[in-house]
Amino acid sequence: MKPLSAANYKNEFTENFPGDDSGDLTPRQTPGKLYSKAIPTPVEKVTLLAWSNELAKELGIQKPDSEQDLNILGGNYVADAMKPYAACYAGHQFGNWAGQLGDGRAITLGEWQTPAGNTWELQLKGAGPTAYSRRADGRAVLRSSVREYLMSEAMHYLGVPTTRALSLVTTGDPVLRDMFYNGNAAYEAGAIVMRTAPSFLRFGNFELLNARKEHDLLRQLVTWTIDRYYPHLQGENRILDWFKEVVERTATLMVEWQRVGFVHGVMNTDNMSVLGLTIDYGPYSFVDNYDPDFTPNTTDLPGRRYAFGKQPGIAYWNLGCLAAALLPLAEKDKLLAVLETYKEVYWKKYYQMMGNKLGLDVVTNLDTDLITQFEQTLAKLQPDMTIFFQLLIEVPLYMRDEKQVADHFKESFYKELAEEESQQLYTLISNYLERLNRNTIKREVSQQLMRNANPRFILRNYLLHQAIEELERGENTLFTKLQEAIKEPYTSNYDEFFMKRPEWATQKAGCSMLSCSS
Ligand code: AMP
Ligand code: MG
């Protein structure tokens, strides 16, 4: 275990690519550059709110025990071995080309060398302006930092590919935010998350270089990405092979989000990791009631582009943008052929995943109808997704009548079922039980499959909201409890969290819908 101030960093990104090393933090375009040097802007007082022990252990990082190491977490101290920078990238936002964006409030300190022999970028989110802050302040507020810290760790424990979070500190500096975009700006507590991943490279890093017609740099970045993160790809078609693997990883990620009911909320191409990780936690949410049209992002309401059920299709669209960015490096037909593999990969993995959620021994073509029937019935009746699947694990193998079925699942519903709805549920469950009867695996094995695929605890928005309100008052009871609860989502003993979203949270801001203001 080494302290954060140790000389344990590589800086290969900045050493391999051209950057603007002036340190100038004035917002600007940086043609020909992949990054701009950005020293964090010091804050009033760094106070540690949370530290991820398990992650720190994995990365070989010692918990800060000196003022100096603590100050690193708030951007008040930069160790000699670090070369802090903000990456330059572009992206498509809500379907439109947005041009240069870049890390407006994220600063990578360096590439930390882990005991396993890898490197992980250590990045501060909210550490002050960079050349890419445009009109914004480069800061982050406590509520959005708590959300990123807890949720990225929660996703990790759910087994969903994600960036991680090592620490959460408050800065002692107030940050002005117009939370509802209605002209009522107010000061909130400032905070900084240290987040980490092997790489934060996004589709947008590649789109930027293509848009600027910097084809040599584009080739260099692709080659570097493959060498570093996809070293098993060695053949002469490695660019296409790489794109194929990005397609596969992205499809896997979408299946995983569908499995646990995660809605990202801002699937712009600048928020799409080239490693297939969940990245940039903003106005995300789990679905409570199963609603494919649900979007947690108030900015997304007009078109619901990023709604729960649309995510797999949007990922395909985003991969299309990445394919377009690679056109200078590979034949169009071949890129398109690889892009088209997305659908096949996605559906294959999707049905496999649903088979696990339903505890099926195998998923054959005959089962796809049943899976579709589940989707349609759930979308119509809108039970709480998490609770419904928990109740499904324990469903009696023989169900007498509609009433018995409705009673069994009662706890998961947000409303009384109409007669027709009870009937639909009964038909669904009858078909399901018939299928379970044909399972060639023991009931216990089937139930174990289901327990592994269906979380019992999810980090619901209203819980985060309550924890944040407490923290803003200086209490950390719920926050501390949630920090523990996220670690065992499949076997959770936290019965107090095993309940539907309460009625009061349905319309309350921050509990169901969120803005991008953070
Ligand atoms: P997002 O879609 O929220 O991940 O962010 C879109 C772009 O806005 C990225 O380039 C961010 O770095 C930038 N951005 C968001 N919030 C801020 C902020 N407070 N200060 C500077 N840049 C920001
Ligand atoms: Mg972003």
Phi-psi region of 51 (alpha: psi -120 to 50; beta: other; left: phi over 0): beta
**How many CB atoms lie under 10 A from the CB of residue 331?**
10
What is the Å distance from ligand 1's center to 413 Cα? 37
With bands split at pLDDT 50, 70 and 90, how would you rate the model's confidence at 507? confident
CA distance 377 to 22: 59
What is the Å distance from ligand 2's center to 76 Cα? 24
**How many CB atoms lie under 10 A from the CB of residue 316?**
18
Q: Is the CB of 273 under 6 A from ligand 1?
A: no
- Please indicate whether residue 270 is annotated as part of the active site: yes
Q: What percent of the chain has pLDDT over 90?
A: 97
CA distance 283 to 385: 19
Atom of ligand 1 nearest to the CA of 138: 20
Q: Is the CB of 501 under 6 A from ligand 1?
A: no
Residue 180's pLDDT is what? 87
Neighbours of ion ligand 2 (CB under 5 A): 271, 280
Active-site residue identified among 270, 280, 288, 384: 270
pLDDT digits (tens, 9 = 90+) for 441-477: 999 999 999 999 999 999 999 999 999 999 999 999 9
Residue 509's pLDDT is what? 85
Counting ligand 1 atoms within 8 A of each CB, the residue from 205, 270, 279, 517 with the most, and so the one to mutate, is 270
Residue 286 confidence (pLDDT) above 90 = yes
DSSP run (H or E) holding 85: strand 85-87
Backbone angles phi, psi at 487, to 5 degrees: -75, -20
Q: Is the CB of 90 under 6 A from ligand 1?
A: no
495 contact partners, CB below 8 Å, separation of at least 6: none
Four-point Cα dihedral 395, 362, 309, 450, nearest 10: 40
Q: Is the CB of 105 under 6 A from ligand 1?
A: yes
pLDDT digits (tens, 9 = 90+) for 110-145: 999 999 999 999 999 999 999 999 999 999 999 999
Average pLDDT, the chain: 97
Instruction: Output b/e per residue, 140-164; b: 16+ Cβ within 10 A.
Output: bbbbbbbbbbbbbbbbbbbebbbbb
Residue 512 confidence (pLDDT) above 90 = no
Using H for helix, E for strand and C for coil, what is the string for 313-363? HHHHHHHHHHHHHCHHHCCHHHHHHHHHHHHHHHHHHHHHHHHHHHCCCCC
What is the Å distance from ligand 2's center to 400 Cα? 51
Atom of ligand 1 nearest to the CA of 89: 10
* Ligand 1: residue whose CA is nearest its atom 12: 104
CA distance 298 to 283: 8
Residue 119's pLDDT is what? 98
pLDDT digits (tens, 9 = 90+) for 436-450: 999 999 999 999 999
With bands split at pLDDT 50, 70 and 90, how would you rate the model's confidence at 108? very high
pLDDT digits (tens, 9 = 90+) for 297-351: 999 999 999 999 999 999 999 999 999 999 999 999 999 999 999 999 999 999 9
Distance of CA 406 to the CA centre of its chain: 34
Instruction: Output b/e per residue, 453-486; b: 16+ Cβ within 10 A.
Output: bbbbbbbbbbbbbbbbeebeeeeeebbeebbebb
Residue 510 confidence (pLDDT) above 90 = no
pTM of the model: 0.98
Which ligand gives the minimal distance to the CA of 133?
Answer: 1
Atom of ligand 1 nearest to the CA of 516: 3
340 contact partners, CB below 8 Å, separation of at least 6: none
Residue 217's pLDDT is what? 98
